[in-house]
Structure 1
Amino acid sequence: MGVILFQKIVLQRLNQVTADEVLKYAKQYGIHVTRKQALEVEKLVNGKNINIFNEKERNKLLSQVEAVTSKEAVQLLNQLFEQYVSRG
Protein backbone atom coordinates (compact mmCIF):
# COMPACT_ATOMS: atom_id res chain seq x y z
CA MET A 1 0.00 0.00 0.00
CA GLY A 2 1.35 3.42 -0.89
CA VAL A 3 2.35 5.81 1.87
CA ILE A 4 -0.16 8.46 0.81
CA LEU A 5 -3.03 5.96 0.69
CA PHE A 6 -2.07 4.60 4.12
CA GLN A 7 -2.01 8.11 5.58
CA LYS A 8 -5.38 8.98 4.04
CA ILE A 9 -6.98 5.85 5.49
CA VAL A 10 -5.57 6.53 8.97
CA LEU A 11 -6.61 10.18 8.88
CA GLN A 12 -10.11 9.39 7.61
CA ARG A 13 -10.55 6.82 10.37
CA LEU A 14 -9.41 9.31 13.03
CA ASN A 15 -11.68 11.98 11.56
CA GLN A 16 -14.71 9.69 12.01
CA VAL A 17 -13.94 8.17 15.42
CA THR A 18 -16.84 7.78 17.85
CA ALA A 19 -16.89 7.74 21.64
CA ASP A 20 -17.71 4.02 21.55
CA GLU A 21 -14.62 3.38 19.43
CA VAL A 22 -12.50 5.48 21.80
CA LEU A 23 -13.72 3.30 24.68
CA LYS A 24 -13.08 0.11 22.70
CA TYR A 25 -9.53 1.13 21.79
CA ALA A 26 -8.84 2.37 25.31
CA LYS A 27 -9.89 -0.99 26.75
CA GLN A 28 -7.88 -2.85 24.10
CA TYR A 29 -4.71 -0.94 25.04
CA GLY A 30 -5.30 -0.83 28.80
CA ILE A 31 -6.05 2.90 28.99
CA HIS A 32 -8.61 4.00 31.59
CA VAL A 33 -11.08 6.33 29.89
CA THR A 34 -14.57 7.18 31.11
CA ARG A 35 -17.57 7.56 28.81
CA LYS A 36 -17.51 11.32 29.45
CA GLN A 37 -13.82 11.50 28.48
CA ALA A 38 -14.47 9.43 25.35
CA LEU A 39 -17.21 11.86 24.33
CA GLU A 40 -14.79 14.77 24.83
CA VAL A 41 -12.15 13.04 22.69
CA GLU A 42 -14.78 12.44 20.00
CA LYS A 43 -15.61 16.17 20.02
CA LEU A 44 -11.91 17.03 19.70
CA VAL A 45 -11.24 14.89 16.63
CA ASN A 46 -14.47 14.05 14.85
CA GLY A 47 -14.75 16.10 11.67
CA LYS A 48 -11.65 18.19 12.45
CA ASN A 49 -9.29 16.71 9.80
CA ILE A 50 -6.34 16.60 12.20
CA ASN A 51 -3.17 15.34 10.55
CA ILE A 52 -1.34 13.14 13.06
CA PHE A 53 1.49 12.82 10.53
CA ASN A 54 2.20 16.52 11.12
CA GLU A 55 4.11 16.82 14.40
CA LYS A 56 2.66 20.24 15.29
CA GLU A 57 -0.95 19.12 14.74
CA ARG A 58 -0.34 15.83 16.58
CA ASN A 59 1.17 17.60 19.60
CA LYS A 60 -1.69 20.11 19.71
CA LEU A 61 -4.21 17.26 19.68
CA LEU A 62 -2.32 15.39 22.40
CA SER A 63 -2.38 18.50 24.60
CA GLN A 64 -6.12 18.85 24.07
CA VAL A 65 -6.73 15.18 24.83
CA GLU A 66 -4.61 15.41 28.00
CA ALA A 67 -6.82 18.27 29.20
CA VAL A 68 -9.88 15.98 29.11
CA THR A 69 -8.29 12.63 30.04
CA SER A 70 -4.95 12.01 31.76
CA LYS A 71 -1.22 12.19 31.18
CA GLU A 72 -1.06 8.38 31.14
CA ALA A 73 -3.77 8.14 28.48
CA VAL A 74 -1.95 10.66 26.31
CA GLN A 75 1.37 8.84 26.66
CA LEU A 76 -0.22 5.62 25.42
CA LEU A 77 -2.10 7.46 22.67
CA ASN A 78 1.15 9.05 21.55
CA GLN A 79 2.77 5.61 21.38
CA LEU A 80 -0.08 4.46 19.12
CA PHE A 81 0.27 7.54 16.93
CA GLU A 82 4.02 6.95 16.69
CA GLN A 83 3.37 3.45 15.33
CA TYR A 84 1.25 4.92 12.52
CA VAL A 85 3.59 7.83 11.87
CA SER A 86 6.62 5.55 11.57
CA ARG A 87 4.79 3.49 8.91
CA GLY A 88 3.50 6.49 6.98
Structure 2
Amino acid sequence: MSIILVITEKTNRFVKFHAWQGLFFHLALAAIGILNSLLGIVLGNISSLLSLVSTLFGLAIFLGGLGLSVFLMVKAYGNETLKLPLLGDIAEKQL
Protein backbone atom coordinates (compact mmCIF):
# COMPACT_ATOMS: atom_id res chain seq x y z
CA MET A 1 0.00 0.00 0.00
CA SER A 2 2.81 2.42 0.86
CA ILE A 3 4.43 2.15 -2.54
CA ILE A 4 1.15 3.04 -4.26
CA LEU A 5 0.75 6.17 -2.14
CA VAL A 6 4.40 7.13 -2.62
CA ILE A 7 3.89 7.01 -6.38
CA THR A 8 0.41 8.55 -6.65
CA GLU A 9 0.19 11.15 -3.87
CA LYS A 10 1.45 14.54 -5.04
CA THR A 11 0.07 17.20 -2.68
CA ASN A 12 -0.66 15.92 0.83
CA ARG A 13 2.61 16.00 2.80
CA PHE A 14 1.02 14.13 5.73
CA VAL A 15 0.08 11.17 3.54
CA LYS A 16 3.41 11.22 1.69
CA PHE A 17 5.38 11.25 4.96
CA HIS A 18 3.49 8.27 6.36
CA ALA A 19 3.73 6.41 3.06
CA TRP A 20 7.51 6.91 2.90
CA GLN A 21 7.99 6.04 6.56
CA GLY A 22 5.85 2.91 6.18
CA LEU A 23 7.76 1.85 3.09
CA PHE A 24 11.14 2.31 4.78
CA PHE A 25 9.89 0.57 7.93
CA HIS A 26 8.74 -2.50 6.03
CA LEU A 27 11.90 -2.60 3.92
CA ALA A 28 13.93 -2.52 7.14
CA LEU A 29 11.81 -5.34 8.59
CA ALA A 30 12.34 -7.39 5.43
CA ALA A 31 16.10 -6.83 5.60
CA ILE A 32 16.19 -7.86 9.26
CA GLY A 33 14.13 -10.94 8.42
CA ILE A 34 16.50 -11.95 5.63
CA LEU A 35 19.55 -11.45 7.84
CA ASN A 36 17.91 -13.44 10.62
CA SER A 37 17.13 -16.27 8.19
CA LEU A 38 20.73 -16.38 7.02
CA LEU A 39 21.91 -16.30 10.62
CA GLY A 40 19.49 -19.13 11.43
CA ILE A 41 20.96 -21.26 8.65
CA VAL A 42 24.49 -20.71 9.93
CA LEU A 43 23.51 -21.25 13.55
CA GLY A 44 21.43 -24.30 12.62
CA ASN A 45 24.54 -25.96 11.26
CA ILE A 46 26.25 -25.37 14.60
CA SER A 47 23.46 -26.33 16.98
CA SER A 48 19.73 -26.94 16.96
CA LEU A 49 19.40 -24.81 20.07
CA LEU A 50 21.01 -21.82 18.33
CA SER A 51 18.63 -22.31 15.42
CA LEU A 52 15.73 -22.21 17.87
CA VAL A 53 17.07 -18.94 19.31
CA SER A 54 17.16 -17.46 15.80
CA THR A 55 13.61 -18.67 15.15
CA LEU A 56 12.35 -17.11 18.38
CA PHE A 57 14.17 -13.87 17.54
CA GLY A 58 12.47 -13.88 14.13
CA LEU A 59 9.09 -14.42 15.77
CA ALA A 60 9.74 -11.53 18.16
CA ILE A 61 10.75 -9.26 15.26
CA PHE A 62 7.62 -10.26 13.33
CA LEU A 63 5.26 -9.67 16.24
CA GLY A 64 6.99 -6.42 17.21
CA GLY A 65 6.85 -5.21 13.61
CA LEU A 66 3.19 -6.12 13.34
CA GLY A 67 2.39 -4.33 16.60
CA LEU A 68 4.34 -1.23 15.60
CA SER A 69 2.67 -1.21 12.17
CA VAL A 70 -0.79 -1.29 13.73
CA PHE A 71 0.22 1.39 16.25
CA LEU A 72 1.54 3.67 13.48
CA MET A 73 -1.62 3.12 11.41
CA VAL A 74 -3.83 4.08 14.35
CA LYS A 75 -1.75 7.23 14.95
CA ALA A 76 -1.90 8.21 11.27
CA TYR A 77 -5.66 7.54 11.19
CA GLY A 78 -5.99 9.94 14.14
CA ASN A 79 -4.08 12.63 12.19
CA GLU A 80 -1.05 12.29 14.46
CA THR A 81 2.48 12.21 13.14
CA LEU A 82 4.75 9.80 14.96
CA LYS A 83 8.24 9.95 13.53
CA LEU A 84 10.40 6.86 13.94
CA PRO A 85 13.93 7.80 15.08
CA LEU A 86 15.97 6.99 11.97
CA LEU A 87 13.39 6.14 9.35
CA GLY A 88 11.27 9.23 10.01
CA ASP A 89 14.22 11.49 9.21
CA ILE A 90 14.85 9.62 5.97
CA ALA A 91 11.13 9.82 5.10
CA GLU A 92 11.09 13.60 5.68
CA LYS A 93 13.94 14.03 3.20
CA GLN A 94 11.77 12.43 0.50
CA LEU A 95 9.07 15.11 0.72
- TM-score when scaled to structure 1? 0.37
Larger Rg: 2
- TM-score when scaled to structure 2? 0.35
